[in-house]
Amino acid sequence: MTVAVAAELGLCLCHRCHKACDLNASPHTCPRCGAHLHRRKRNAITRTWALMLTALILYIPANVLPIMHTTSFKGDSTATILGSVVTLWRDGAWDIATIIFIASVGVPVTKFLVLGLLLCTVHKGDTRSRRDRTRLYRGLELIGYWSMLDVFVAALLTALVQFGALGTIEPRPGILFFGLVVVLTMLATLSFDPRLIWDTDTHDD
């Protein structure tokens, strides 16, 4: 392409203070803040893969294990994510059911798919629709934390509904795993370097 790449100019952006450093002058450390200089995020693809796979593994117990335990005078009930979605839908609260479904199933699955797609294409050095992929990545960053909705709902309910014999809600391990999934997917997104999408432009691996 016509646009000059920073590497060709011998420039590198400091990760800490975002100063454009001259690699020829100070090859390893930032002259301003002293941080180590890396041309790209370190081990970006490996880290992203690892974190994403971890999230994927943890996503299984997050869905299988119960997330909440409700004790009320009507009886005890333990709910998984999908179970509560189904219950809400049956009870007529289809709007809330939809929100929870999107937050807890739609968003994480989308993240897994998008991250997997990005990683695969970067790994293969695919040059097609790089602009769209960059847009996808930005979207990924945007929706990342909305999955925490579930965790917040569980945390709020646990904190608020403590009426002793009348009713209590306790968290169950599922919500911990789900929170880990959300955090790990966000970390995976962070550790991915979108500039890698464009690296294939000038240097084919």
Partner 1 sequence: MTNGTTPQSPAEADVKSRRWSLSLVWLVPLVAALVGLSMLIRAWHDAGPTVEVTFETAGGLTPGQSQVKYRNVVIGEVSAIRLSQDHKKVVVTIDLDRDAKDFARKDSRYWVVRPRIGTGGVSGLDTLLSGDFIAADPGDSDQRATRFEGLENPPPVTYGEPGKRYRLKASDLGSLDIGSPIYYRKVRVGQVVSYALDESGDGVDVDIFVNAPNDQYVTADTRFWNASGIDIGVSANGLELDSESLLSVLTGGVAFATPKRESGSAPAEAGTEFQLFSEKSVALSPGKGPAQRIRMRFDQSLRGLKEGSPVELIGKQIGEVTRVTLDYDASDKTFPVIVDARIYPQMMGQAYGKLLTDIRQPAGNADEVPRLFEDLVNQGLRAEARTSNLLTGQLFVALELYPDAQPVEFDVTLDPIQIPTRPTSLDKLQEQLTRLVDRFSKIPFESIANNMNGSLAELRKTLSSINSDVMPSALQTLKSIDGVMTDMRSTLNQAADALDPSSPERTRIGHALDEVERMSRSVRELSDYLRRHPESMIRGRSQPVRSDQ
Sites of contact with partner 1 (CB under 8 A): 7, 10, 12, 23-24, 27-28, 36-47, 49-51, 53-54, 57-58, 60-61, 73-78, 123, 165, 184, 199, 203, 205
Nearer to partner 1, 74 or 131 (CB): 74
The arrangement of strands across the sheet holding 68-72 comes to 75-79, 68-72, 167-171
Q: How far is the CB of 54 from partner 1 (least distance, A)?
A: 4
Alpha carbon distance 64, 55 (integer Å) = 14
Q: How far is the CB of 95 from partner 1 (least distance, A)?
A: 26
195, containing H or E segment: helix 195-199
Nearer to partner 1, 67 or 99 (CB): 67
Alpha carbon distance 197, 182 (integer Å) = 24
Q: How far is the CB of 11 from partner 1 (least distance, A)?
A: 11
Nearer to partner 1, 106 or 125 (CB): 125
Q: How far is the CB of 56 from partner 1 (least distance, A)?
A: 8
- Nearest to residue 12, comparing CAs of 23, 25, 24, 26? 23
Helices (H), 19-147: 44-64, 81-90, 94-101, 107-124, 130-143
Using DSSP's 3-state secondary structure scheme, residue 21 falls into strand
Nearer to partner 1, 18 or 28 (CB): 28
Q: How far is the CB of 79 from partner 1 (least distance, A)?
A: 10
Alpha carbon distance 57, 114 (integer Å) = 17
Nearer to partner 1, 86 or 102 (CB): 86
